[in-house]
Amino acid sequence: MRILVTGGSGFVGRSVCERIGSGEIDVFPVVRSPDKAASRSKCIIVPDIGPDTGWQKFLSGTDVIVHTAARVHVAKDTAADPLAAYRHINVAGTLNLARQAADAGVRRFIFLSSIKVNGDNTTFARPFHADDQANPGDAYGRSKYEAEVELQHLSQVSGMDVVVIRPPLVYGPGVRANFLTMMRWVHRGWPVPFGNVENRRSLVALDNLVDLIKTCCVHPAAANQVFLVSDDEDVSTTELFRRIGVALRRPARFVPLPPALVRAIAAVAGKQGQVARLLGSLQVDIDKTRKRLGWSPVVSMEVALEETTRQYLDSRPR
């Protein structure tokens, strides 16, 4: 089996390439520049994944495409028209690749989408489900949803299987952005103002997400389905900070400020979006993923946090 993985040097894509290429599976990472290829001899260099990119010479004999490349969500987007910028890569670039893949006889197209297609938050009584009506709350989520819709239509007219995976926050060795900030906060001993948060959030360890992607490459029941994924162990923000502290062997120092006060401070500091995610709930139900694919998480949150914090500590300057 030949699998082509876009975003092959990214956080998720690199791990997919490293962990599913073995035996009868040949994995070809797609990277943007030669320096991203490093020593990997099978790398395919494609500088731009856009609406006009030519893919034909790379697709011959390819069975599955795992499409992880995207214009990712950022807290403060500086683009003059964020939705247009997201659409250029996440919708037009994705559909351009998928159409050429279908024409080349690629059997399956796995699209790494986002839980933001479902929405930005949930209530305690109602987690997101895979077959819920989409309700994206920002330009990034909307671009991912539009790509899903176009891919599903392409599948109907071409016969190429499309599999959509919508992960929540992904963490693991090498994680950056908000999760890295949380580890630094605890490791440096700074007071954590989230000691009184009673929300619930789903996360997914990189190992668990990659294992689901690997399953979707070959499982016949994955065809033309949408799947949610998580560690199946939801935690509050307070509990997540506590667990990070345990893994770092440096207990988190909590300051139990009222959430309303935390929001007010965040507004003054221009951090409303980041803090809103830490205070709000976002839970996913993976029952469909379990039942249809016979899949369950391969690592616990405890083990995944140990691996994540170990890499963080090992990568710090001595």
205 and 297 Cβ atoms separated by less than 8 Å: yes
Distance of alpha carbon 165 from alpha carbon 114, whole angstroms? 7
| Total number of residues shown for the chain | 318
pLDDT digits (tens, 9 = 90+) for 185-228: 999 999 999 888 889 999 999 999 999 999 999 999 999 999 99
The 10s digit of each residue's pLDDT in 12-54 is 999 999 988 777 889 999 999 887 665 566 899 999 999 999 9
Pairing of strands 108-112, 64-67: parallel
- The reported pTM is 0.94
Which H or E element spans position 171? strand 169-171
Q: Which residues pair with 110 in a beta bridge?
A: 66, 163
In this predicted model, which residue has the larger pLDDT, 318 or 70? 70
pLDDT at position 304 is 98
Render pLDDT for 154-194 as a digit per residue (tens, 0 to 9): 999 999 999 999 999 999 999 999 899 999 999 999 999 98
Q: Measured between alpha carbons, how far is residue 92 from residues 52, 55, 89, 101, 105 in Å?
A: 9, 14, 6, 14, 20
pLDDT attached to residue 261: 83
Residue 39: predicted pLDDT: 53
Query: Amino acid identity, residue 69?
Result: A
- Residue 74's pLDDT is 64
pLDDT tens digits, residue range 71-128? 986 656 667 788 999 999 999 999 999 999 999 999 999 999 999 999 999 987 799 9
Q: What is the mean pLDDT of the chain?
A: 92
Which pLDDT belongs to residue 318? 63
Is pLDDT of 138 > 90? yes
The DSSP output letter for 111 is: E
Whether the Cβ atoms of residue 284 and residue 230 lie closer than 8 Å to each other: yes
Q: What is residue 272's predicted lDDT score, i.e. its pLDDT?
A: 75
Q: Of 86, 140, 171, 312, which is the active-site residue?
A: 140
Domains of the chain listed by start with CATH number? 2-166 (3.40.50.720), 172-204+232-318 (3.90.25.10)
140 catalytic, yes or no?
yes
Q: How do residues 241-299 score in pLDDT, each as one tens digit?
A: 999 999 999 999 998 888 888 788 777 777 777 777 788 999 999 999 999 999 999 99
